[in-house]
Structure 1
Amino acid sequence: MKNTSQNLFRATIIAASVAAASSTFAAGFALNDHSAAASGNALGGAAASKTDISFSFWNPALFTNAKSTTVNVSGALVMPSMDVTVTGANSADVNGAAAGGTAPLGTKAGEDPVDSTLVPAFYFAKPLSDKTVAGVSLNVPFGLSGDYGKDWAGRFHATETALQDIALSFALAHRVNDWASVGASVQIHKADIVLESAVGTPISQAGGEGIGRIEADDTSYGYSLGVMLEPKQGTRLGLGYRSQVDFDFKGDVKYTGVSSGLAANANLVNTTVTDSITLPSVMTLSMEQEISPTLTLGLSAIKTGWGDLDGLNIDFNSKQSNSVLTLDFEDQWMYSAGLTYAHSEKLTLRTGVAIDNSPVSDKYRSARTPDGDRKWISFGGTYDFSEMTSASFALTHVMIEDVSVNRTSLTEDRARGTLQADYKSSANVLSVAMNMAF
């Protein structure tokens, strides 16, 4: 068993390190694909479920679901679709440009800006006594990825955007008595960010255009706390909190295809960059109510503290002016409800719906965050091969509100020009998991 657990843990680390989370298919750029069983209920009851240890992502007290040494490995295949229609784009007003100071950039949209992506999760639980369980988990709590290509009309606003946050957690959960459990974890977060866009102007006498690419990373720390109560048989209440995580990103910027004239005019030199970014806290309040011996209702309200993330203010550590992208996110809630039906001793079926509100305001929506409100419809189930081994699956369809980017009057876009574009997006997510006890 020890060798099996070690191999699964190593495999999950490798998978997490190469996963690029799909473009904002949870509100903002949070990822909610951490449990195939929870996804089947659209996260209804996520912080109160006694199903398996994967629910510990939302509430570390739920590691007490492990009665023996347990491994849970989950993977979610995110299959997004995004249709971008550019209705207008102009380059920046650069000194030396032709009459009028700007140049039209056409209406070419990015080709396939989002790709299918596998989001992994890993959980390991080891009971230390009848009441206390130690747990280890590996997750990707936040992620963002989009690549429009280098020749689309909005290239001065974004060509490529990527953010990935990998969290390794160490938890302890304790069963206080028959109706109460508590838990806590400490987390190590490793985050990487890529920001690429065109720079300059297509007008040759103003120096032309090139590409600037920023790559930066940082390691930081967070924690989670949780409690689960069962005041009467069949009624479970759960509250989980994951802390915000503060990053001080350091990296470098490299320019390609930049003429000497443009480099001199705009102070574009390969150099180091820094920026401080806070990834938000997440609070989950859930209830599970057994309606009958075979039917259970799950409800969740999840608050993400997006208000801590005000935007980007990248310091180039050179004569170049800081690059500012205001996000002005607002704290938002996700609401979900799910039903679990015990079809037989071996097969459990699930379904759920959710409303996931976007933190993005119309004023500051950008090509890097073309985000809208979401509605989920989920189906799933669990099949018990034996008392020790089970497999879970879920299929979620995410309907995303049609949104528009209207970057025509913001001072921070003076070097980017203007962009107007309409976005139509949706996603399907297929999740599978194995839960093995030893």
Structure 2
Amino acid sequence: MTTSSKHLFKASLVAVSVAAASSAYSAGFALNDHSATASGTALAGAAASGADISFSYWNPALFLNATETTVYVSGAYVMPSMDVTVNSANSADANGSAPGGVSPLGTQSTNDSVDNTLVPSLYLAMPVSEKTVAGISLNVPFGLSGDYGDEWAGRYHATETGIQDIALSFALAHRLSSWASVGASVQIHTAEVVLASQVGFPSAEGNGYIEADDTSYGYSLGAALEPVKGTRIGLGYRSEVDFDFKGDVKYKNVATLNGALGVAGQPTLDNTTVSDSITFPSVLTLSVEQDLTAKLILSLTAMRTGWGSMDELRIDFDSNQSDSVLTFGFEDQWFYSAGLTYAHSEKLTLRTGVAVDNSPVTDEYRSARTPDGDRTWLSLGGTYSLNDMTSLTFAYTHVMIDDVSVSRDGTGEDAARGTLDADYESSANVFSVAMNMAF
């Protein structure tokens, strides 16, 4: 293994953490189920709805939906599916890895590479005056996990992946007039990544594993307008979040590999510490709600995620190794949704919606770390009022994901990982429930 390819391998390990190959629910590695209510309309009206305080995730001004102390607790059980068919895979050649030359790795695939995940959300609103509400919320903006296993043919590209970003927000919302409100929040983000990949070549194969974490800060701003009774417009912005991850890279079963590298005069794989800077993207949400009748509401949302902030990953090793750079090539993308809300009775409200969620991954840079495709959501849901103080909400979303192919030629950043040609078929089902309680 050359010095440069060793650096590239370690860079690829950290890259897996932010790629989140298991994120079958939302484009990139975002998680968008922060409200069972919003999920019922596929997030249509997310920044404008007057339904409850959970919409404050997309627009903090919507904490004003609370007229008394209110708690909203939501949970989404995400059940992703990803079938991988490997057409061909080869280890790196002697120049890219170590003595031994190119070795075919077979076509062993995996149909169980993503994990079911529970995504919780919690909101608390406390009116401090007739015009001002203070709010606290706990969300998981980015995450999911997956495990290809150590035996699949693409194991030098990725095996285990995990990422979790937990955000605690403190917000204030203020009503400027009968038709205009504003809000803002500050957020504390704690993120952790876990990832792994096989290293070396078939006759001398080991495992590389990394864990890293960091705490950072972000903010959100929002405005809610009702210029005409029955027409609600909302605009919300969640900022980028800059993380400086620090962690450890550890190797297992690399004695034989290090022996071969030493004989070849190449640097060995040694446990060390690592740091890297990653900027999680901003999210801009524009929504409109229109009362069509006394019982029927039409909702629309356009959401832009600034994935371009993750164009590359630059890693600094706390050793004599130089910085390494890995290209993502993510592009800013839009999410669009439309939904209907129908007040069936005083106790029961029904919802449905459809959405198009565009992937930030381009064909040029798609890999086993980012086997991402465009998505279409189909959602339905409802709310049942138990009494004047308590209601239960449910939602179901089916996510259809475009089939994609990964074709890596074993050059450049894949010099130490070899070639991979694989096809991906993915989908997801999401079940959400919530309870809203006023005191």
Same fold (TM over 0.5): yes
1:44 equivalenced with 2:40 (yes/no): no
Report percent identity of matched pairs. Answer: 72
CA distance in 1, matches of 2:318, 2:429: 42
Alignment of 1:311-350 (within 5 A): 311-320=312-321, 324-350=325-351
Q: Which residue is 2:99 aligned to?
A: 97
Change (3 A) 1:266 1:113: farther
CA distance in 1, matches of 2:144, 2:309: 18
Does the CA contact (< 8 Å) of 1:22 and 1:116 recur in 2?
no
CA distance in 2, matches of 1:284, 1:233: 22
CA distance in 2, matches of 1:367, 1:145: 14
Q: Which residue is 1:188 aligned to?
A: 188
Q: Which residue is 2:80 aligned to?
A: 80
CA distance in 2, matches of 1:312, 1:337: 35
Task: State which of 229, 232, 235 in structure 2 corresponds to 1:233.
Answer: 229
C-alpha distance after superposition, 1:14-43 (max 9, x if no partner):
xxxxxx995242000111000000000000
Deviates more, 1:242-251 or 1:322-331: 322-331
Gaps of 5+ in 2: 1-19
Change (3 A) 1:30 1:190: same
Q: Secondary structure at the match of 2:158?
A: coil
CA distance in 1, matches of 2:217, 2:366: 29
Does the CA contact (< 8 Å) of 2:404 and 2:423 recur in 1?
yes
CA distance in 2, matches of 1:88, 1:321: 32
Does the CA contact (< 8 Å) of 1:267 and 1:319 recur in 2?
no
Q: Which residue is 1:292 aligned to?
A: 293
C-alpha displacement of 1:93: 1.4
C-alpha distance after superposition, 1:281-317 (max 9, x if no partner):
0000000000000000000000000000113333332
Q: Which residue is 1:30 aligned to?
A: 30
1:157 equivalenced with 2:153 (yes/no): no
Q: Secondary structure at the match of 1:315?
A: strand
Does the CA contact (< 8 Å) of 1:312 and 1:324 recur in 2?
yes
Alignment of 1:100-119 (within 5 A): 101-119=101-119
CA distance in 2, matches of 1:22, 1:229: 38
C-alpha displacement of 1:83: 0.6
Alignment of 1:23-422 (within 5 A): 23-94=23-94, 97-98=99-100, 101-202=101-202, 204=203, 208-259=204-255, 260-262=258-260, 264=262, 265-320=266-321, 324-408=325-409, 410-422=411-423
Q: Which amino acid aligns with 2:359?
A: S
C-alpha displacement of 1:251: 0.3
C-alpha displacement of 1:116: 1.2
C-alpha displacement of 1:322: 5.2
Deviates more, 1:308-317 or 1:179-188: 308-317
Change (3 A) 1:21 1:179: farther
Q: Secondary structure at the match of 2:68?
A: coil
CA distance in 1, matches of 2:235, 2:415: 45
Q: Secondary structure at the match of 2:387?
A: coil
TM-score, L = length of structure 1: 0.92
Change (3 A) 1:146 1:324: farther
Does the CA contact (< 8 Å) of 1:34 and 1:74 recur in 2?
yes
C-alpha displacement of 1:262: 4.7
C-alpha displacement of 1:320: 5.0
TM-score, L = length of structure 2: 0.92
CA distance in 1, matches of 2:144, 2:283: 17
Gaps of 5+ in 1: 1-19
Does the CA contact (< 8 Å) of 1:21 and 1:118 recur in 2?
no
CA distance in 2, matches of 1:318, 1:184: 42
CA distance in 2, matches of 1:137, 1:368: 31
Q: Secondary structure at the match of 1:252?
A: strand
CA distance in 2, matches of 1:375, 1:325: 29
Q: Secondary structure at the match of 1:177?
A: coil
Q: Which residue is 1:6 aligned to?
A: none
CA distance in 2, matches of 1:279, 1:157: 23
Q: Secondary structure at the match of 2:71?
A: strand
CA distance in 1, matches of 2:357, 2:62: 24
CA distance in 1, matches of 2:22, 2:126: 32
CA distance in 2, matches of 1:244, 1:327: 17
CA distance in 2, matches of 1:159, 1:311: 21
Q: Which amino acid aligns with 1:233?
A: K
Q: Which amino acid aligns with 2:280?
A: L
Q: Which amino acid aligns with 1:308?
A: S
C-alpha displacement of 1:326: 1.7
C-alpha distance after superposition, 1:379-428 (max 9, x if no partner):
00000111110011000000000001111154011011111110000000
